[in-house]
Amino acid sequence: TLQERLSGVLDKLRGRGSLSEADVSEAMREVRRALLEADVALDVVRDFIARVSEQAVGATVVKSVTPGQMVVKIVHDELVNTLGADNQPVSLAAAAPVPILMVGLQGSGKTTTTAKLAKRLQDREKKKVLMASLDTRRPAAMEQLAVLGTQVGVQTLPIVTGQSAVQIAQRALQAAKLGGYDVVMLDTAGRTTVDDELMAEAVEVKKVSNPHEVLLVADALTGQDAVTTARAFDKALGITGLALTRVDGDGRGGAALSMRAVTGKPIKLIGVGEKMDALEDFDPQRIAGRILGMGDIVALVERAREQIDQEQAARAAERMRKGQFDLNDLKSQLQQMQKMGGMAGVMGLLPGMGQIKKQLDAANIDEKVLKRQAAIIDSMTKAERKNPDVLKASRKKRVAAGSGTRVEDVNRLLKMHRQMADMMKMMGKGGRGGLAGLAGK
Ligand code: GDP
Ligand code: MG
């Protein structure tokens, strides 16, 4: 496994403080090989390795884990990050009937997934769903959807022969509106490979139906081709998410990583069998584990994470006492808070902080704010994090743009950091600080 290979390369380093560029590049050869074996597309592998290397070089190896485990953890976390840390469900946040367009190559599982998703929306979310097949090319295709509809108890649009895909789409929307449906699912025709005619038809259908979701249904077993497919569909249609099928037969998980990386669109659903209830939410942790090729990766990573967190917290506390609290420290504090469900949890760990816990509980800092703040710090350069004073107007603008926030948000974060740093200094001298400004809203 990758774990063993990385241990072989790195664990002779035990005792050294941090990972050098040479150590890391040797380790990255193993990571590269593992990703290619998992069928991840070449250019995706290249970008991934670059990102992981950057994090691994200079990373401090904590006492209680080996350098190999440390790098596995970095790789795992970056995999999860790339795959999309949050599960993003199919959105129905639009005026009813909400149109959902299913696109993809022939045989990818569009019709099956359409019926599975319709069933799920109906059973779990109590939505009234209408399905329509726009596949005018294969005579049996419309029948297939009708049969599945009967099987799962979801209505399908009555079949009228001789209509074009666009006409059927219009009829479906009309019927959904008149019939008081919440959702209308449009199952399109596919080709065996990406071609112009297929795309042109899908684009037309998209134009007339104005779908709230455009889900690309893709076969997890297609490996390297997945990238070409995903890129082409996204370029022509602007997909909103992916449904990955045949994950039950895929032990490697590479297609998920490739498709997510090239489109930047979330994987919203995975198909794990032919049965109508074989549809699951996407779980990045599990796919990351598959790619790394080890069953116990999650436990291992958790153990490493705990150790690293503890040592980081101790280090941060030490730096705080000395009044050296920079934005890197703030970032690791924010991450801790996110993990531990709020600032109060972390502060409880730090010496002398128990007393302010109550104020923080009251401030009720939510996860979104924490994430936004972490994103702002991520958009800064190393130098800016060490010394926030260099952040003048133009740099702030850049950081705001990079993190998808506004300059006010950057200012607020900097102010919060200043207040925290001042407070730390005071506490270090034995004084007491007020935390009123810490809410960071
Ligand atoms: P379409 O041409 O894109 O509409 O593909 P279909 O929905 O007709 O699916 C083609 C075949 O793939 C069918 O035999 C499905 O049962 C099968 N299939 C679809 N999704 C899955 C899945 O998640 N796992 C497995 N094992 N088979 C699937
Ligand atoms: Mg079909």
The DSSP symbol for 378 reads H
pTM, two decimal places: 0.69
Q: Relative to the alpha carbon of 103, which ligand is closest?
A: 1
Euclidean distance between CA atoms 407 and 426, whole angstroms: 29
Atom of ligand 1 nearest to the CA of 107: 2
Q: Is the CB of 252 under 6 A from ligand 1?
A: no
Q: Which of ligand 1's atoms lies nearest the C-alpha of 106?
A: 2
Residue 161: the pLDDT is: 87
Residue with tokens 């939510």: 366
CB 138 less than 6 A from any atom of ligand 1? no
| Ligand 1 closest atom vs CA 272 | 23
- C-beta of residue 180 within 8 angstroms of C-beta of residue 128: yes
Mean pLDDT per 10-residue section of the chain, whose length is 441 residues: 70 66 83 84 91 84 70 85 84 95 94 97 96 90 95 95 94 97 95 83 95 95 83 94 89 82 92 93 83 58 64 73 78 68 46 45 61 88 89 93 92 87 68 38 32
Query: Separation of 108 CA from ligand 1 center, angstroms?
Result: 6
H/E segment holding residue 143: helix 139-152
SS3 368: helix
Distance of CA 242 to the CA centre of its chain: 12
User: What spacing in Å lies between the alpha carbon of 214 and ligand 1's midpoint?
Assistant: 18
Composition of the chain by helix, strand, coil, percent to 5 = 60, 10, 30
**Most informative mutation of 245, 268, 280 for ligand 1 (most atoms within 8 A of CB):** 245
Strands 98-103 and 213-219: parallel
d(CA 56, CA 75): 9
In this prediction, residue 238 carries a pLDDT of 95
**DSSP result, 13-53:** GTT-SB--HHHHHHHHHHHHHHHHHTT--HHHHHHHHHHHH
Our answer on whether the CB atom of 130 is closer than 6 Å to any ligand 1 atom is no
Distance in angstroms (rounded) separating the CA atoms of residues 157 and 135: 13
Question: Residue of the nearest CA to atom 5 in ligand 1?
Answer: 109
**For ligand 1, is residue 109 a contact (CB within 6 Å)?**
yes
Quick one: which atom of ligand 1 is closest to the CA of 104? 3
Q: Is 246 known as a binding-site position?
A: yes
105 annotated to a ligand binding site: yes
Nearest ligand (C-alpha, residue 134)? 2
Distance CA 309, CA 333 (A): 10
- Annotated ligand binding at 240? The verdict is no
Domains identified in the chain and CATH numbers: 2-86 (1.20.120.140), 98-282 (3.40.50.300), 322-439 (1.10.260.30)
Pocket test for ligand 1, best of 135, 143, 221, 274 (most atoms within 8 A of CB): 274
pLDDT of residue 125: 94
